[in-house]
Structures are given as C-alpha cells and as structure tokens.
Amino acid sequence: MTRTGTWSFATTAGRVEVAPDEIRVRRRVGRTCREVARSLASGRLPSVGRDVGWSGVGAAISALGMLLEWTGEPGTGVGVAAFGLATAFAGVGVSALQNARTEIRLRDVRHVAFRKGDVVVVHESEDGGAAETALSPRSPAARNDAALAFRLRGVDLRGADDAEGVSRTAVDAPATELVT
C-alpha cells in the first residue's frame, strides 16, 4: 500500500491500482506485445485477442498470403503475408494504446470474479448495464494480491476461495475503523 492508500498488483499487460475511490488499469504497449508473442509461441490464443479486432484481420491476411505463396508462383504471397503481419502487430499496438488507461469507479463495481486465472471486474457500464473488465495477473502471488486489495476495499469476491493472500481476518472481520 502507498501513502495515498492505494494497493496495486501486476498483470500481464501492465499494473492495476485499487485506490480508495476507483480502480485504475494501466496497460503498457511493450509488455502487451511481448505477452502476445509469448502466447502465440506457446500455441495459445493471447488474452488480448478478445480486445484486438485488427490483429485478427491481419492474421487472416497473413494466412491468405501464406496460402498464395504455397499455391501460386514463388514470391507472390510474400508481400501479402508481410502486410498481414504488419497489420496484426499494428493492431495489437493500437489496441494497447487505446486501452492504455481505464478507470472504474469503486461504487460502480458489482463484484470481482476469479475465473481460470483471470480476475474479472463486473461493473456498471455507462448505459446502466453490466460490463466486464478482464485482468490477467502475472503470477499466483499477484492474483493473491488482487484478491486482498479488492477484499480490503469491500468488494464482493467470487471464486477467490483458494487465494492465499486473503487472510481469514480480512475476509470475516466486520467493517471496522482504523484506531489512531
């Protein structure tokens, strides 16, 4: 915790701060691109894939270029494949820049769900409906830090029973005041 009363934890794309009145999600472009490359190299679909539309288009163009290269004359699909790859990586960068900073008012948070390693903040959207912001903690320790930070802010946690960072005192204690 910092002097301003903010808890934070690391995610695969940046840092999340749980402040007294809001949740601040800060994503970094370089880290996001590295995580996408690692995910693809290990054969997994990157978590940022659900937020990146142009990367999917770029990947499809790249696949088309590879298909042209294999079926057509040598060299015909190289330019198309290179254009597709450039579009895919540019899509990741643009998406990361657009989503570089997100702020969610704490009073709008309905609950925080822990699903398959992700932390999903369910909050009210601007139109009054429910919106979800998915966060991927970098490690089990960061996941525990997230559970503790949200619990100490009084947010309803769902699926965090195995989070070791949430002590029984913090979970079960009634609302108390800080004695100075």
Confidence grade of residue 176 (pLDDT, cut at 50, 70, 90): very low
Give the pLDDT confidence of 95-129 residue by residue, as tens digits: 666 667 889 999 999 999 998 888 999 999 988 89
3-state secondary structure of 167: coil
Task: State the Cα–Cα distance between residues 79 and 141, nearest whole angstrom.
Answer: 44
CA distance 46 to 42: 10
Tell me the CA distances in angstroms from 93 to 37, 58, 60, 76, one per residue in order.
Answer: 12, 13, 17, 27
Average model confidence (pLDDT) across the chain: 75
Domains in the chain (CATH in brackets) are 7-28+100-172 (2.30.29.30), 32-98 (no CATH)
Which ranges in the chain belong to alpha helices (H)?
29-41, 53-71, 78-98, 140-152, 168-172
How confident is residue 179, by pLDDT bands cut at 50, 70 and 90? very low
* Comparison of pLDDT for 105 and 60, the residue scoring more: 105
Whole-angstrom distance, CA of residue 177 vs CA of residue 127: 35
Q: What percent of the chain has pLDDT over 90?
A: 21
